[in-house]
Structure 1
């Protein structure tokens, strides 16, 4: 079995990442390609919980380093639970944001 492909969409707020990733996923599915869509932060059950904490502002008082660690933990879980298994199964994974956004936002 061929390993899948990993494609990320990066950009500022409202740039159309979700729209474009959805359009690509739909097109690939129409071509018969197995597709898994995910996002950061989030993408797996545990990472979605961390996403809610990050977006709620509850992590902000702990500072930028703590926030960066929450993003990193969410990414590791998403990689282990969603992305890697999908790729190993031959699916193409379309991700709305990934490590480039962390570099841009958390430095």
Structure 2
């Protein structure tokens, strides 16, 4: 793969989408092929799973079910959008990726980090970003 894969991680409202757009504009101004995307979502199959995850009550899914759904969405996203873009040399900028699963379904939901990474290895063939930025707001 000749492209680059960069993710922005962080909680709700920290500015991931804003910073992703600014980074995309700066890199595009340098003549790079830029693809922006998000998780969950980014491909038709992943967007369908996003709908399952985002609609309904907060307790609709337990952490294990959520982890499986996120892994399925990510597998489709990686196969249909991220890897093809990287292979053609694009820079892929993604609002969230596997570190969000590690935080929310792992630390927040009680699954082990090994469980989350195993799902990721199986579903997404272990693709990891070249660089991840964690955005946080100070108190």
Separation in structure 2 between the aligned mates of residue 31 and residue 62 of structure 1, nearest angstrom: 43
What is the total number of aligned residue pairs between the two structures? 106
Unmatched 5+ residue regions in structure 1?
none
Residues 27-79 of structure 1, C-alpha deviation per residue, up to 9 Å, x if partnerless?
Answer: 11111000001111000011011111100037943422111100000000000
Q: Residues 78 and 89 (structure 1 numbering): CA distance in 2 closer, same or farther, change over 3 Å?
A: same
- Tell me, yes or no, if structure 1 residue 36 matches structure 2 residue 35: yes
Separation in structure 1 between the aligned mates of residue 59 and residue 90 of structure 2, nearest angstrom: 35
- The 3-state SS of whatever aligns with 1:86 is helix
TM-score by length of 2: 0.72
Q: Which has more helix, going by share of residues?
A: 1
**Partner residue, 1:27:** 26
**Partner residue, 1:6:** 5
**Partner residue, 1:98:** 97
CA RMSD of aligned residues (A): 1.5
- Tell me, yes or no, if structure 1 residue 52 matches structure 2 residue 60: no
Q: Residues 76 and 15 (structure 1 numbering): CA distance in 2 closer, same or farther, change over 3 Å?
A: same
**Partner residue, 2:74:** 75
- The 3-state SS of whatever aligns with 2:99 is helix
Residues 14-38 of structure 1, C-alpha deviation per residue, up to 9 Å, x if partnerless?
Answer: 0000000111011111110000011
Unmatched 5+ residue regions in structure 2?
107-139
